[in-house]
């Protein structure tokens, strides 16, 4: 497993399936997208990217799977999905969903 320093969860270990996805272009693109959208304009020190967020979600998914005693292939699928969950978000994420639906 690959250990990554996370600003929220300290050091997290990602399984090989998630670690292999880190170097893909869609996941690397998340490094340049702000997770907190316009909140950062009010709180300038709130600096968090979708990349960091996705790593944390994959980590928490792993912890949840462990607590639920889920193992094997399903674990890999869930952690990969957790890491990739923000790849398709548009700009400003959920703030613009209402506008896009119209």
The pLDDT value recorded for residue 49 is 87
- Residues 28 and 41: their CA atoms lie apart, in Å, by 24
**Percent of the chain surpassing pLDDT 70:** 86
The pLDDT value recorded for residue 11 is 93
What pTM value is reported for the model? 0.81
The pLDDT value recorded for residue 81 is 95
Alpha-carbon distances, residue 54 vs 28, 34, 42 (angstroms): 11, 12, 23
Q: How many residues does the chain have?
A: 102
Q: Is the pLDDT of residue 73 over 80?
A: yes
Q: Residues 88-92: what's their mean pLDDT?
A: 68
């Amino acid at each position: 497993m690959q250990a990554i320093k996370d600003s929220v969860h300290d050091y997290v270990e990602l399984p090989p399936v998630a670690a292999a996805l880190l170097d893909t272009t869609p996941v690397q693109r998340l490094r340049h997208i702000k997770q907190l959208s316009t909140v950062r304009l009010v709180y300038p020190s709130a600096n968090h990217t979708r990349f960091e967020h996705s790593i944390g979600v994959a980590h928490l998914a792993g912890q949840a799977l462990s607590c639920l005693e889920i193992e094997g292939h399903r674990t890999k699928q869930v952690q990969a999905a957790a890491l990739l969950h923000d790849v398709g978000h548009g700009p400003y994420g959920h703030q613009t969903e209402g506008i896009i639906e119209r």
